[in-house]
Structure 1
Amino acid sequence: MRSKIIGTTLPVLELQLDAGDRVIGVPDQLSWMSGDISLTTSTAGGGGSGGLLGLVSRAVSGGGLFMTEFHAERGPGNVAFAAKLPGSFVEMQVEPGRGYLVHRHGFVCGTPGIEVTTAFQQTLGGAVFGGEGFILQKLAGRASAFVELSGELVTYELQPGQQLLVHPGHVGMFEETVGFELTTMRGVRNALFGGDGLFLVRLSGPGKVWLQSLTAPGLAHAISYYLPERRG
């Protein structure tokens, strides 16, 4: 399998599969495909033997109940996934003891052996994340995985004991060695969260952190003034 990133602002991830190659992805993010590609969709990672996706608990995370396996059966083919927001795709090598926690819509696709589970879900106040709260998915197993992050990327290598306070929407991804907890700063009013208090995520080292500059709630809030009012 070979990967290629097409474009910059709204990139497309194109995967070139040789005969026999398989990749497991999010079905609603598929943009186009060509060649001898077959699709199998199921709640267990597209079927197949050997536990291609392992344990899946994506339904409660809002990432979708079903996953699709793309299989180049008798010949080569291409599969493409388009970004939902301006940003970038990041390829990660997932290994036992070297997993990652990503934001709720971060996982795009991975090779057989990837395990995608819900790692954390916490309800937050107001209209943030559409009222669905702060959700993290965990990528584990042994595979290559592609993650979508929005806006510009800012990375930090946290040392043991070093902490970083981050707005939940800007948490893109971090290594599983990084500790995290939700905390509230009282006395700060925030239109996205409502009420008196601002939720922040405390990330604690050691480990690497990827932050994203663009958030879907922030984008929705910025353009809400220009949208027609709902009536009825």
Structure 2
Amino acid sequence: MQTRIEGEMLPVLYVSLDPWESIVSETGELSWKSPNVTLQTTTAGAGSSGFLGAVKRSLAGGGLFMTQYKAEGGPGFIAFAAKIPGTIDEHRIEPGRSYMLHRHGFMCATEGVTLGLGFQRSLGAGIFGGDGFRLQQVSGSGTFWTMLGGQVVSHLLAPGEAIDVHPGHVGMFEDSVSFDITMLPGIRNKLFGGDGFFLARLTGPGRIWLQTLTMPNLAHALGPYLGGETVASTAEGSALGVAASSFIRRAFQ
């Protein structure tokens, strides 16, 4: 198997498969392929054993189904294109290690890589309409590729070193990094600061990968050009309840 990443703002991952080699991704990731690359959609991909494993993967933000691509009768290729402006990165994982990944960050992986539920927190979801904060856990053995929004900023945290991050900008981190959700101090900061109610605190040792662009921020930037009642009310921000709900959604999506 050979891979290459082309492009910068909207990159594409090319995967060249030797005969009978395969790769797995969530459904809907395929962009183009050679005719001899076959598709098989199943709940058992990415290390899931049966339906319950697929449900756990789905709770982490992944799909209930996965698609396996296999080159049959000769070499083939497949391409996965970015869906938003961002960065595609390749990572190698060894047995006994794992990574926590943004719930929309997984692109594809080789056989032997497992995708499951790593973290779920639903603070404020019932009151403010947010759907919680979730992370996927990538483990097993093999190679996997991530797609994070905007540029990826990597930090190597020393033991005990901590950084507070808006939850939406948490892209990925090693399992040695401690993760917790902290609440912003002060009612004015929460309601009028525009940064949401919560921050993610990452504490070393270990490497973290932060993404500069989040889907909610991209949608918010495009909102004034799309029209509609919802966009107008969000832009005006005249009602405190609307503002609080918006901040919570931005924090946890």
Common fold, TM-score beyond 0.5?
Answer: yes
Task: Label 1:173 to 1:205 Cα distance change in 2 as closer, same or farther (>3 A).
Answer: same
> How far 1:123 moved relative to its partner?
2.2
> How far 1:38 moved relative to its partner?
1.1
Who is 1:24 aligned against?
24
Who is 2:200 aligned against?
201
- Indicate the structure with greater helix content: 2
For 1:78, give the aligned amino acid. Answer: F
- Are the equivalent residues in 1 in contact too, given 2:61–2:136 (CA < 8 A)? no
For residues 134 and 40 of structure 2, the distance between their equivalents in structure 1, rounded to whole angstroms, comes to 27
- Are the equivalent residues in 1 in contact too, given 2:39–2:67 (CA < 8 A)? yes
Q: Deviations over 1:105-137 (max 9, x none)?
A: 1111101101000111122547xxx83221100
Q: What is the DSSP-based 3-state SS (H/G/I as helix, E as strand, rest coil) of the residue aligned with 1:186?
A: coil
Who is 1:221 aligned against?
220
Which of these two proteins has the greater Rg computed from alpha carbons?
2
> How far 1:81 moved relative to its partner?
0.6
Task: Label 1:32 to 1:158 Cα distance change in 2 as closer, same or farther (>3 A).
Answer: same
Q: What is the DSSP-based 3-state SS (H/G/I as helix, E as strand, rest coil) of the residue aligned with 2:9?
A: coil
Q: Which runs of 5+ in 1 are unaligned?
A: 46-50
Who is 2:88 aligned against?
89
Task: Label 1:35 to 1:226 Cα distance change in 2 as closer, same or farther (>3 A).
Answer: closer
Identity %: 47
> How far 1:5 moved relative to its partner?
0.8
For 1:208, give the aligned amino acid. Answer: R
Task: Label 1:212 to 1:168 Cα distance change in 2 as closer, same or farther (>3 A).
Answer: same
Who is 1:48 aligned against?
none
Who is 2:171 aligned against?
172
Q: Which runs of 5+ in 2 are unaligned?
A: 231-253
Task: Label 1:70 to 1:193 Cα distance change in 2 as closer, same or farther (>3 A).
Answer: farther
> How far 1:58 moved relative to its partner?
1.8
TM-score by length of 2: 0.81
For 1:44, give the aligned amino acid. Answer: A
For residues 141 and 115 of structure 1, the distance between their equivalents in structure 2, rounded to whole angstroms, comes to 5
- Indicate the structure with greater strand content: 1
- Are the equivalent residues in 2 in contact too, given 1:35–1:76 (CA < 8 A)? no
Residue 100 in 1 paired to residue 107 in 2? no
Task: Label 1:174 to 1:190 Cα distance change in 2 as closer, same or farther (>3 A).
Answer: farther
Who is 2:190 aligned against?
189
- Are the equivalent residues in 2 in contact too, given 1:102–1:138 (CA < 8 A)? yes
Q: Deviations over 1:191-214 (max 9, x none)?
A: 7989xx621001010000000100
For 1:189, give the aligned amino acid. Answer: K
Who is 1:117 aligned against?
116
CA RMSD after TM alignment: 2.3
For residues 190 and 61 of structure 2, the distance between their equivalents in structure 1, rounded to whole angstroms, comes to 27
Who is 2:76 aligned against?
77
Q: What is the DSSP-based 3-state SS (H/G/I as helix, E as strand, rest coil) of the residue aligned with 1:214?
A: coil
Q: What is the DSSP-based 3-state SS (H/G/I as helix, E as strand, rest coil) of the residue aligned with 2:83?
A: coil
Task: Label 1:193 to 1:67 Cα distance change in 2 as closer, same or farther (>3 A).
Answer: farther
Who is 2:133 aligned against?
134
- Are the equivalent residues in 2 in contact too, given 1:154–1:212 (CA < 8 A)? yes
TM-score by length of 1: 0.88
